[in-house]
Amino acid sequence: MSQNKTTANPFKLPVVTHFVAGKPCPATGRTLPVTNPATGAVIREVAAASREDVSVAVAAAAAAFPGWRATTPLKRARIMFRFKDLLERNADRIVALITEEHGKVLDDARGELARGIEVVEYACGAPELLKGEHSKDVGPAIDSWSEFQPLGVVAGITPFNFPAMVPMWMFPMAIVCGNTFVLKPSEKDPSTAMVLAELLKEAGLPDGVFNVVNGDREAVDSLLADKRVQGISFVGSTPVAEHIYRAGSAAGKRVQALGGAKNHAVVMPDADLDNAVAALMGAAYGSCGERCMAISVAVCVGEATADALVAKLARQVKALKVGPGTLPGVEMGPLVTREHFQKVCGYVDLGIEEGARLVCDGRGLRVPGHDQGYFLGGCLFDRVEPSMRIYKEEIFGPVLCVVRVDSLAEAMAVVDGHEFGNGTCIFTRDGGTARWFTDNIRVGMVGVNVALPVPVAFHSFGGWKRSLFGPLAAYGPDSVRFYTQRKTITQRWPGDAAERAQFAFPSSSTQG
C-alpha cells in the first residue's frame, strides 16, 4: 500500500478511472502514474479513489445485493460461463495489458490468465457447490437442513504481481455465492481490472454486482472502515496482511489475508539435478521472482549436492534471456517499478555485506534500447546462513539463495524455523523421504519434484504461519465457506392432537 507520488496529469495522458454500477466513472481528485517497466515511461494515469468514491461504489454494491441474492445459482453460473468465453476471446488483449504494465513476459501472462480462468470454471459449478445438507426425521416429524447464504457486500484488495489471476481468485466465487463485490486492484497495473469489469457486464452481470475502485491506501482504509462491507480478501505483504486482518476483524468483518513468503526447495543427494535445476530456474526467476510462490531458497543436503547444484544453476542463470516481455524468446522481463528495482538491488548489496558468496550478479545488466527500464539479471547467492537478512526477508526479485545443510532433518528444521510457511518442495527419488517430508513439514503447500505447488482451482490456496491470516484459504472449497454463512433450519409441523409442554432441553434421546 505504498503511496505513489500524485500528479496533476500534466501530459494529458489517458486516465484509468473507476467502474461503478456498470460503467466507468469520471476521474476526480488525485491521479497516480502508471509506468511501463520495460521503458520507465509513464504511459497513463490512474485515479486515486477518495473515501467518497469508495462509498459510492459500496453503495452501488449494496443496492444491487438484494436482487443478486435472489438470483438463482444456476443463472449466476450461466453468467460465469459467458464470462469465461469472453475471457478466452479477449485473451490477447488482456495478456498485452499485463505485460505492458507489469513487465512479465507474454507467455507468463498467458499462464496467469489461464489459471484465473480455471477458478471461473470452478465457479460455474455454483448449483452443486451451494447445495446444503438435509436430514429427515432428526426427531419425531422433525427435519433439519443447512443453507449457504451470502454475506452481502464483500471486497478484494489485490497485488501488482498477478493483476488478472489474483482478482479471479476472489470475485468469481464471491459473486456466484450471491455476494456483490468491490475490487481495489494495485495502482501499479490497474488496466486489467477494468477490462474484467467490462467483460462481466458484457456477460450479463447486473450493474452494481461488480465494481472497481482504483487508488492507494486511502481506498483500502475506506473499505476497511465502511460498515456495509461484510468481508475482505487480501493478497500482499505480511505487514499489510496483518494490518488488514486486525483492522477488518476488529470492525466485525470476515477477513482472509494472504501475506508474504520465503519458499524453500530441499534438494536431496539422490535428486535428478538436471530436472531440479530446470524447475528451480523457472520457479526462482520466472516473472522476475515477483511471485508469492517463487522459490527463493534452495536447501542442499550435503556439500557435494550443493557444489553440483550451484555449478549447474550458475551456467543457466548467466544465460538467462532478459528483456522486454513482448520480445520472442525472452525468459525474464523487468521489475515492476524503479523503487522496487532499487530495493532488490539493495538486498544484493546487503547479501555481500553479510558474507554470502555472490555467484551470479545481475546488477550490471544492460538491455539495448531500454536503458531506462527496470531490468535486473538473475542473482545467485551461495553459502547463505539463516541468520542473514537476505534469508529471513522476502526479496520478491530474481535472487536465489543456497543454504547448505548435512541432513534432511536439518533441512526441515531450516524450513520450519522460518516465520513464513507458504510453499515448499523437495527434490528426491526416494518415496519414503518424500512421504516423511510431506507429512511433517509445517508449510501449507508442498510439492514433490514440483517447484511451484500452486493448487488447482478445485483445491484451495493458502500458507501457514505468517503467510496467511484467517482460517480459510483462497478459492476452491474454502472460498465457498468464506463467502457464505451457514444457516441451519430445524422444522416441525405439529399434529392435530394437543401437546404438553416439555421443560427438558431437547436431545436425541428426548426426541427419538
Residues labelled as active-site residues:
292
Residue 295 β-bridge partners: 263
User: Nearest 5 degrees, angle CA 238-CA 241-CA 247?
Assistant: 140
What is the DSSP-derived secondary structure letter of residue 53? H
CA distances from 464 to 443, 457, 483 (A): 6, 19, 20
479 touches 173 (CB < 8 A): yes
Q: Is the dihedral of CA 419, 424, 429, 432 positive or negative?
A: positive
Residue 104, helix vs strand vs coil: coil
Strands in 71-191 per DSSP E: 134-139, 142-150, 153-157, 180-184
Residue 301 and residue 276: Cα distance in Å, rounded? Answer: 13
Strands in 302-442 per DSSP E: 357-360, 379-382, 399-405, 420-421, 423-427
Residue 277, helix vs strand vs coil: helix
Residue 200 and residue 222: Cα distance in Å, rounded? Answer: 25
Instruction: Find the farthest-apart pair of alpha carbons in the chain and give their distance in angstroms, rounded.
Output: 92
Dig out the grid coordinates for 247 from the structure.
483492522
Side-chain half-sphere CA neighbours of 211 within 13 A: 30
Residue 35 and residue 14: Cα distance in Å, rounded? Answer: 12
238 touches 272 (CB < 8 A): no
As a three-state string, the secondary structure of 421-436 is: ECEEEEECCCHHHHHH
